[in-house]
Amino acid sequence: MFSSVTFVLLGLITASTSIEEHWAGNANGTTDANGVCQCSVHLTDPSFPVDRMEKLEMSADSLSTSVEKELLKIQESMTKISVFEKRMHNLTLRIEKMESNGLTYTELDFELLKLEIREMEMLITQLKGSFSGSNVIAEQLYAEIKNMSLTITSLEMLDKNNVLAIRREILSLKKKLQECEEYKNHTSAGPPIVYGSCNHGLISDISQPFLVQMNWRGLGHKCGAWGKDPEPVSPKKELYWQAPLNTDNRYMEYYRLYSSYDDFLLYRKPIETIFKYGQGSGMVVYKNHFYFNCYGTRDVCKIDLNTHKVAVRKPIPFAVFNNRFSYSTPWQDIDIAVDESGLWVIYATEQSTGNIVISKLNETSLEVERTWMTKQYKPSVSNAFIVCGVLYATRTVNTRQEQIFYAYDTNTEQESKISLSFSKMMENIYGVNYNPKDHKLYVYNDGYLVTYDLSFYPNAEATKGV
């Protein structure tokens, strides 16, 4: 800085011709005897322009001050420019990121960028103003910022036309979907099926039979039962079972368990157990326990399917057995059933004169908790099952048709006549087990294992007002 001030001062003096004129031609030099150069000056004009010199000095001074000021300004601008450069770099990085990220930028990103660019444009304009005349760096910065602004605008246009449009489209589709769902909710005939719940009326329909397979012991084993545990105990995720009776149609000696439907279908990885003896086709599996009528007695046995040992054995008071009042097929005096609320037993007594008696059992102790008497003679029904505390009885129509014809509601103690016919593969049905978790009947049909899907009327309470 100092050197330039000196330079400015020298330049001014050199440029001044008037001082030279004063000195030229007025001084002669001589050399004396000692060789010393002597010079005497003769001033033709006696008045030295001291005032002009002073003026010069003053103007040089003020010039130096203003140069200093300019230099300060330049320094300031340099600092500003380096800040701008950093911010420009940041902005560039962000725009590059936005460009490469495709669809992830949002309207907010654009607003922020546009705000910063406006701010920078303003500062650059200020910077340009603080330099008198043009400045290459500032011009360059300005051009770059203008360019960036253009890029942002075009990016935004791109986004507006594509991403935002797609987003709006998606939103409107979502809205339409919601409207559609609401419409459906208000107009659909029945409530959605909730397995395991009793928020519905009586059975309204029964499907065609679905043949799953032949029992593993073969066609000769016409009696028995099979099913799927509605509440398998963890870690068992699924538990399928089948228990074909011996060919005498009375003894249950074997049962098999499968831990998946696929294994069941392929007779793969069975757990096979011999148990001496169960009687008849009234058995069921519930919460990893096997319940059945113990051979030749009125007892219900409960086997733990982890240990395959009898956990509880208890007589059903007054229940008759050994074909006294079986279903229309033999050895079916005592039939265990499961519904949404737990364990039941369907049987008959001398006191009931052979009519069906229903008892709710304590699944832990097998104690009878409560008992209901029906007016339906047990030997005239082919089988029975319980759904939501309602007993349904079936009868044989012919060798191809069976019919659900009778219902007894333990909740209201009311009976009703119904008529729901369904086809069968073979002549006789034995084990009939309802699974509350899939609303299916698991039926053992002369050695074939078949299922039926049940449908229900909507809840009587809910439909009263309609």
Judged by CB under 6 A, the stretch of 281-289, 322-330, 347-355, 359-367 that binds ligand NAG is 359-367
Does position 463 bind ligand NAG by CB under 6 A? no
Pick between residue 58 and residue 310 the one whose CB is nearest to ligand NAG: 310
CA distance 137 to 135: 6
Q: What is the CA radius of gyration of the chain?
A: 52
Pick between residue 140 and residue 247 the one whose CB is nearest to ligand NAG: 140
Is the separation of the CB atoms in 432 and 383 below 8 Å?
A: yes
Binding footprint of ligand NAG, residue count (CB under 6 A): 14
Is the separation of the CB atoms in 272 and 300 below 8 Å?
A: no
State in angstroms the smallest separation of the CB of 283 from ligand NAG: 21
Within positions 213 to 252, which residues make up the interface with ligand NAG, using CB under 6 A?
Answer: none
SS3 434: strand
Pick between residue 80 and residue 94 the one whose CB is nearest to ligand NAG: 94
Which of left, alpha, beta for 384 (phi over 0: left; psi -120 to 50: alpha)?
beta
Within positions 15 to 44, which residues make up the interface with ligand NAG, using CB under 6 A?
Answer: 28, 42
Does position 364 bind ligand NAG by CB under 6 A? yes
Judged by CB under 6 A, the stretch of 88-96, 125-133, 206-214, 431-439 that binds ligand NAG is 88-96
CA distance 60 to 9: 6
The number of beta carbons lying within 10 Å of the beta carbon of residue 410 is 21
Structure tokens given for 205 = 């329909």
State in angstroms the smallest separation of the CB of 435 from ligand NAG: 22
Does position 93 bind ligand NAG by CB under 6 A? yes
Does position 14 bind ligand NAG by CB under 6 A? no
Q: Identify which of 384, 402, 295 has the alpha carbon closest to the alpha carbon of residue 344.
A: 384
Contact with ligand NAG (CB under 6 A): which of 181, 262, 413, 427? 181
Contact with ligand NAG (CB under 6 A): which of 3, 47, 134, 185? 185
CA distance 96 to 78: 26
State in angstroms the smallest separation of the CB of 26 from ligand NAG: 8
List beta partners, residue 234. none
Nearby residues of 345 by Cβ (< 8 Å), 6 or more positions away: 300, 316, 319, 334, 335, 336, 337, 358, 359, 361, 368
Contact with ligand NAG (CB under 6 A): which of 178, 199, 247, 306? 178
Contact with ligand NAG (CB under 6 A): which of 365, 401, 412, 414? 365
Contact with ligand NAG (CB under 6 A): which of 4, 90, 306, 416? 90
Contact with ligand NAG (CB under 6 A): which of 4, 38, 362, 412? 362
Pick between residue 179 and residue 427 the one whose CB is nearest to ligand NAG: 179
Within positions 99 to 158, which residues make up the interface with ligand NAG, using CB under 6 A?
Answer: 147
CA distance 312 to 299: 10
Pick between residue 208 and residue 365 the one whose CB is nearest to ligand NAG: 365
Does position 182 bind ligand NAG by CB under 6 A? yes
What is each CA distance from 309 to 123, 231, 277, 339, in whole angstroms?
A: 90, 20, 12, 24
Rounded to the nearest 10 degrees, the angle between the axes of helix 50-101 and helix 107-130 is 170
Distance in Å from the first CA to the final CA of the chain: 99
State the residues that interact with ligand NAG by CB under 6 A: 28, 42, 90, 93-94, 147, 178, 181-182, 185, 192, 362, 364-365
